[in-house]
Structure formats: structure tokens, C-alpha cells
Amino acid sequence: IEYWRGDEFTLNMIQMNNLIKRWNEPESQANFYFKSAIGAALSDKADFESKKNFAGFIGISTDWENQRYFIQYSNRYTKAFEIKDFYTQFIHLGIAPYIGEYGDIHTWFMIKIDHTPEFERNIVITPHLRFFKNVHLVEVGADTKGKIMFNYVFRY
């Protein structure tokens, strides 16, 4: 579920991340994914009050990480028919303040830079903390305009 505040719409979609290629090195790992989703969009904006449409997106994501550093680039094109169509991309950088053992809670200092050309506020910078343990990942932070970010991901 994604809520886009500026344009007042919600995306409820099922997402599939297909691993195209993984590079495992002795001290690092890199990945290349094709990402897609399908579902519904609901608009809360005045002209489209309670308008519902099919929605979906396609995109790619690539990342590299070791136990100390992380870098990711991702993009996607989202189509919500009469509600909103847009392209977005981001880069995500991280550094771990410590290297934990398997099963520990892992902590990362992260910064995410989003670019969405169609939006009025087309560049958003969000420093945040990432915590993960086993299959649970939590991110919490605020962008440079003070808007709160909270993400929870369950990976299986």
C-alpha cells in the first residue's frame, strides 16, 4: 500500500520482484531485479473524489552491498489510468555503524534521493535509519521538508 500525499491517491498493489542476476563475491553481493505490480488506485483528490481504477507498474532495481556499505538504484513507471501516470527513480546509499553477526539486529544509516519529474516537488531527500533482523526490515526517518517516512517489509 502506498499513499501519495501530494496528489492524494492510494495504490493497493501486489508486487513481484524477479531476480534476473545475482553476483556473489567473497565479501559482497550485487543484484539486478525486474519489478512489477498490479492492483488498484483510489483517488481522494477533489476532481477525482473516490475514483477507482486499475493500476500497475514496471521497473528495474539494482544494488550492491557488503557488510559495511550499500548502494541501490531503482526506477519504475506507474500507470493508474485516469488518476495518475508517472515515472520515478531513486538512489539509496547506506553505511553500517557496526558489523553484526548472523541473527543480530543490523542497523544502517541511510539516505534516499527520489526523483519524480512529473511532481511539483520532484526531488526529495530522506535521511533515515534502517533496522533488520531475520525477515523483518523497518525504516524510519523524515525528509528535508519534515515529512515522516516509515516502512515495514516482511521478506519471505
Q: Are strands 85-95 and 69-79 parallel, antiparallel or unpaired?
A: antiparallel
pLDDT at 41: 84
**d(Cα 55, Cα 136) in Å, to the nearest integer?**
27
**d(Cα 116, Cα 6) in Å, to the nearest integer?**
12
Confidence bin at 48 (pLDDT 50/70/90): low
| Full 3-state SS string of 14-71 | EEEEEEEEEEECCCCEEEEEEEEEEEEEEECCHHHCCEEEEEEEEEEEEEEECCCEEE
The proportion of the chain whose per-residue pLDDT surpasses 70, expressed as a percent, equals 93
Cell of 61: 532495481
Digit-coded pLDDT (tens) for 94-130? 999 999 998 999 999 999 999 999 888 899 999 999 9
> Does 136 have pLDDT greater than 90?
yes
> Does 49 have pLDDT greater than 80?
no
pTM as predicted: 0.85
Question: What is the pLDDT averaged over residues 41-56?
Answer: 76
pLDDT at 60: 98
pLDDT at 121: 80
Residue-level length of the chain: 156
**115 within 8 A of 89, measured Cβ to Cβ:** yes
**d(Cα 18, Cα 61) in Å, to the nearest integer?**
10
> Does 4 have pLDDT greater than 80?
no
